[in-house]
Structures are given as C-alpha cells and as structure tokens.
Structure 1
Amino acid sequence: MNPVLDGILEKEGGYTDNPADKGGPTNWGITEATARTHGYQGEMRNLTRDEAYAILEESYWTAPGFDQIAQLSLPIAFELCDAGVNVGPGWPSRWLQRWLNAFNLHGGKYEDLRIDGKIGGKTLIALRSFLAWRGKEGEQVLMRALNCSQGEYYLEITESREKNEEFIYGWIKNRVIID
C-alpha cells in the first residue's frame, strides 16, 4: 500500500453530494465523471475504497509523475498528489515548476523549467538539485510555497464562483497546511 494514497483516502472520507459542488456526487475524493472514465458504472455511494484507490493510483499518482517525486521527497509528493485530487494534477505540477524556477537564483543552480505541468526528467533533475542544495529546510520552504499557490488558487476560484464560499474555509483548513 502507498502511504500517500492511504492518507488522501483517509482525508477524503466517504460519499458526498453537495449541490454547490461542481464535481457532483463524490466518494473517496473521486468525482462521478472521473469514476466513469475509469469504467465504474455503479452508484457513487457504492464506490469502494479499493476502487477509489486504484483510480487515485492511476490518475493522480502514476500518470502525473508524483510517484517519481516520491523517490526524492515523500512530503512533496503527498502535497502534490493531495492538491491534484482536489484541483486536478496539472495545477500542482505547474506550481512546483514555477517555484523551482523562482528558487533557482537566475538559473544558477539548475536549468530553468518550461511550465507545462508535466513531471519529466528536467523537473526531477531540478527538484533533486534543489533538495541537494537546500536540504530539509528547502523541502519545508518548498512545501510552504506550494501551499501558497494552492491557497491563491482557492481564493481565485471562490472570487469567480460565489458558491465556492461554502467550501473555501474547509479547503484552507484541511488542504493548505503550513507546519
């Protein structure tokens, strides 16, 4: 079992169907649309934890490359995957690339990245170089930076869609964690 995916499933919990939620019926953090693209045909309230785990692993862990990030930093991989489940994996991937560029001292420590939301070899090299250079403190600062981007994302989508005011407090409380 994967401790990142287990942690996300624990955080997401079970079935919800809030009319203000654009995602519609959701179980274990998996929206109905996502479940259907993975071949699930049942009622969303009946989606099992194992089925949700398989979807999370495929679409929110392996496909975006967060499994590769985990080889370098499990906390950063958790942050990216958790955010990806909530907002889609492309956003946190771009946030990571943007922050790595911003922390790069004008390209002096590693090659600047193209902000494409794809975790590939160059992103992994940049992260590896950043962590080797800045160590555990750098890992913590990068986590804070990613949380800043996530918080800004929530603020923007709430300002553009009033119904999100129902969710923003919980998003910040449960997802933007700066310790």
Structure 2
Amino acid sequence: MEGVLADLTTRIGGQVVCFSSASDSLAMWRGYGQLVSGGEPVAIGFCEADLTTLAKDSCFEGPEMVSYESGPIPEILDFFEGELDAGKHVETTHRLSKFVLLYKNKHFEEEQEYRCYCGGTFSSRDRRFGQFSEVGGEFRKVFRLSLGEDKIFEGLKNPLGIKRILIGPKANQSKIERYLKHYFAMHKCMPPETDVSKIPFV
C-alpha cells in the first residue's frame, strides 16, 4: 500500500483543465464571470470532438464528466487485502489517481463539470515538442487549442475548437463581436456563432 500511495502522489501532482456544460448559469456567472478583467465576461463553448483531439495532442485524457458521488473507493480498497503484485499495484494506482482527478463534492453539482487531465510526470517528449511552461519554478504541461502554430483550424471541426461564444450579462455585445470578427479574420476563418446570456443580472 505504501508503494501505491507513493506512486499516487506523483500521478496526482498533475493538472486538470475544467469545463462546464452549464453554459448560462447564474451561479457560474457570479462565481467565474466577475473574475474577468475588464468586465466583459464570455462563456466559450467548445466542440467536444475537438477537445478530444486537442487533449490527445497535448498528452491529456478526456474530456470526462466529474463524479459527484462517492465513486469506486470501496471497490478499490478491496485490492488492499493481502500483498499487491505488480499488475494489481499499477491498476490500483491508476484507478485511485483517476478517482482523485475526477471527483468533486456533491455541493458543486450545479457546475456540471467536465475535465481533461494528465498525470504529474514530465516526459522527454513534452520537452522535445515544447509542450510545457515553467510556472512558479515548476514545469507544467500546456493544453494547446490548436494543432500547430498559427493553424487554428487545421485538423479541427472549429477554429481553436470553439463552437460558440455566449456573451455574459452586462457585457458589451458589439465590442466582443467586433473583436471576434477581427481576430478570426486575421486567421482567414469565420468567427464562431455568438449568443447573449438570458441572465438579466449577476
């Protein structure tokens, strides 16, 4: 068991990228929309197929829906009876690390969260392809929204994987739409469709 916990510490030192299927939720606008600098919050709607492609290219797994239940812990603990052989050790570590990365307290269920995730290891492949960034003196894997520099549409169904932009409460719709039109025109792509939040206030 000590070996499993030691390996687990390495694995859960990884990262998660969080998404939500609650696109127009008062709680979400209040919790996250007000953090946006400039007071122009938007909800970026990604294409799930594109996220799967981008996650694989960035050496992440997912997207997978977060579990708000107790999860498979009782089943996993059954493995701890007796000695763990190599196969059982690897399987137990993998199942526990996935549980930790994909579990959230049920009080957050309104967020309807999905995650792309990766372990805490940093490979030579990440270094070779520049898929890392240094943050606080530690290496972090980069989750890229394109499959190549300045190729925001190549290999994807939507530019940058973005299917839709939902403009938040009190945000300047015309300003945001002008920005989107200009940005995507530079890359010779049509901008994603936009919609406006139905929430009248935050």
Common fold, TM-score beyond 0.5? no
* Structure with the larger RCO, 1 or 2 (CA within 8 Å, 6+ apart): 2
If each structure's strand is expressed as a fraction of its own residues, which one has the higher value? 2
Normalising by structure 1, we get a TM-score of 0.24
TM-score, reference length from structure 2:
0.22
Structure number with the higher helix fraction is 1
* Bigger-Rg structure (1/2): 2
